[in-house]
A and B are shown apart, each in its own frame.
Chain A
């Protein structure tokens, strides 16, 4: 400032000016930060935040102002009248409270914004000029009314901008977002503009009148440091508290929402979820749990006695004991009782939790109702038993007349002086009877193998010997067809542990198929070999082969290959199914490789030392 017309020349300490601007920026940042907290809080917490925030912010603004005043030095000693200084601080706090209140509301319309900024601006301007009035020096202070008006208008405009920025960016949750910092810089730069305009409005004329020093203090550079440090501390504490509060409230929020999520899962779960004591008293459960037990609601269920669920106290004690010992059960099936007394089967997973410090332990678990499945299983078992009984009954009943036919024809065939034609009719009859008996036997064997009633009787069996014995039985068929048969690998075939009677059927079946499906005079090849830990038995024919589509289903019960009807129509589709059952029950594997119109190879492997007893 230039000394004009005998006014005292003043000068600025620019380090202090810079300090004042820095404090303004910090105070602005604090305001932005606190507005968010005030908004998030409710009731007493909100009032506390508002009060604390207003004090911190007010102190910041006031401190900026006084540092700014101290940056201005006059060639006369200056002291400050303490009560007025305190008044100016109160004005700053009041202005801050208004600002925080307005900026922390849910909405900010133009009218509240205008009123808020007028009150806040007036408060800041008031603080400034009250602060000026606290000056005690031997000079007279004069004001340039235009600049004073300008400073008041600036205070209001800056307040409006500050409110808007605060309102706009208060929500930024990330502690120090760049937008919050930018807003703080704008606000922090704007506030000193008002202050220095106000300073420019004042000029000091030496009066020669000694000032009234009562209740006035001189502010040394130590005082400046003290004000600065206290301001920084207060603002720092405010920002730090705000940071902690934001952090904790975020955690609380997260906990609450996670709790709510799991509660929802618990309540809406299709599985019954429960917590019970070892005595069986229900501590908590969901609706699904209550529905499974036939209760209308969870509330009704919780009021019920524990033992109602169990078939008896012994049943509950056994379950509790089991859980205490094993600590957890998974996919455990048991039968409980519904409210109406009917049994309910449940599939359950449960955990036993030891009580802490002598508190009783609890069982936590989930269960689903499997009563329907259990009933279906029982019915299926019954049906399977009936089927098996029927097959066994039917085969017995069928075998008796079949034996009658077979034996009568056998006697008839022995008669002498039969005409050639009669003899051939009798032979045909015997063959048909034999085939029918074969089918009935296959059906019975399959049924008993499938139901597990037919137990294999494994013995050390030489496949080579068994094969030769079968070939002897069918030699007349081979001769009749003019097939060329070769058998290789007979020597050194180790014995395998299988049921010789059943394996005789396997080999007979496969040899018969090869004979049947190979055109007259064809080649049939049987190979046996030991390979590592198993024995391989294979038969190759040069018959019609099996279409690719049929190969996969060849071993199914009642299945017959698509092209089989070209050769013959008899056959049941039981043979290969039975063969597969026997081989697999003996621990072996069977499969076929075939090319249509070229031939087929059927082979099985059996583990050495027996796979299955």
Chain B
């Protein structure tokens, strides 16, 4: 993290979660940009692909699924690691997501910011 701080895109519609998460990742030395819904996320991703995406699933306008599908279908963005951050633990969601290829599937309520930081770091290194 010394030379080039890694750029994280945080896609989250709940502003409290967005704020806490952004702050925590910044404290760990990441460059964080945020998007409150899928539409804005896609715009940001295509304009300037980040190093990693933290993606919520249930969002207004364009859902996390749509975003993920879009990323995976575009040559330029296909290899960006994605960590799903959700509060849903429905089996159907998990299966669908895994078929699209994600680095992690984390349930927000069961996750501490410290653990999140480690997961992001691990994903970028691996």
Contact = CB atoms under 8 A, between A and B. Distances in A.
B32 to A, nearest CB: 14
A453 B110 CA distance: 20
Contact of A411 (B23, B107, B109): B23
Contacts of B17: 400, 403-404, 407
Contacts of B88: 392, 396
Nearest to A433: B109
B48 interface: no
Contacts of B20: 404, 407-408, 410-411
A514 B107 CA distance: 28
Interface string B98-122: 0000000001111111100000000
A441 interface: yes
Contact of B110 (A404, A411, A441): A441
A448 to B, nearest CB: 8
A399 B23 contact: no
A401 B13 CA distance: 12
Interface string A368-405: 00000000000000000000000010011001111110
Closest 8 CB pairs of A and B: A404-B16, A407-B20, A399-B87, A399-B109, A403-B108, A403-B109, A437-B109, A396-B87
Contacts of B113: 407, 410-411
Contacts of B107: 399
A455 interface: yes
Contacts, number: 58
Contacts of A402: 109
A474 interface: no
Contacts of B27: 414
A440 interface: yes
Interface in A427-459: 437, 440-441, 444, 453-455
Interface residues of B, number: 22
Contact of B91 (A396, A437, A453): A453
B31 interface: no
9 contacts: A396-B88, A399-B87, A399-B108, A404-B16, A407-B17, A407-B112, A411-B113, A441-B109, A455-B91
B4 interface: no
Tell me if B's interface is mostly helix, strand, loop or mixed: helix
Contacts of B14: 400-401, 404
Given A400-B14, A406-B109, A437-B109, 20 more contacts: A392-B90, A396-B87, A399-B87, A399-B109, A400-B108, A400-B109, A401-B14, A403-B17, A404-B20, A407-B16, A408-B16, A410-B24, A410-B114, A411-B20, A411-B23, A414-B27, A437-B110, A440-B109, A441-B110, A453-B90
B73 interface: no
A437 B87 CA distance: 11
Contacts of B91: 453-455
Contacts of A454: 91
Contacts of B21: 407
B58 interface: yes
B120 to A, nearest CB: 14
Contact of A444 (B24, B89, B112): B89
Interface residues of A, number: 22
Contacts of A395: 87
A406 B115 CA distance: 13
A238 B114 CA distance: 115
A252 B80 CA distance: 95
B58 A396 contact: yes
Nearest to B13: A400
Tell me which of A400, A401, A406, A408 has the highest count of chain B C-beta atoms within 10 A of its own C-beta.
A400
A408 B24 CA distance: 10
Contacts of B90: 392, 453
Tell me which of A402, A411, A440 has the highest count of chain B C-beta atoms within 10 A of its own C-beta.
A411
Contacts of A440: 109
A400 B91 CA distance: 19
B119 to A, nearest CB: 14
A453 to B, nearest CB: 6
Nearest to A397: B87
A247 to B, nearest CB: 77
Contacts of A396: 58, 87-88
A543 to B, nearest CB: 29
Contacts of A441: 109-110
B112 A406 contact: yes
Contacts of B23: 411
B24 A401 contact: no
Given A400-B14, A444-B89, A410 B112 contact: yes
Nearest to B58: A396
B11 to A, nearest CB: 14
Interface in B33-61: 58
A491 to B, nearest CB: 32
Tell me which of B58, B87, B91 has the highest count of chain A C-beta atoms within 10 A of its own C-beta.
B87
A454 B110 CA distance: 17
Interface string A23-66: 00000000000000000000000000000000000000000000
A407 B87 contact: no
A596 B74 CA distance: 66
A404 B24 CA distance: 13
Nearest to B23: A411
Contacts of A407: 16-17, 20-21, 24, 112-113
Interface string A273-297: 0000000000000000000000000
A127 B120 CA distance: 134
Contacts of A455: 91
B24 to A, nearest CB: 6
A396 B90 CA distance: 10
B24 A411 contact: yes
Nearest to B88: A396
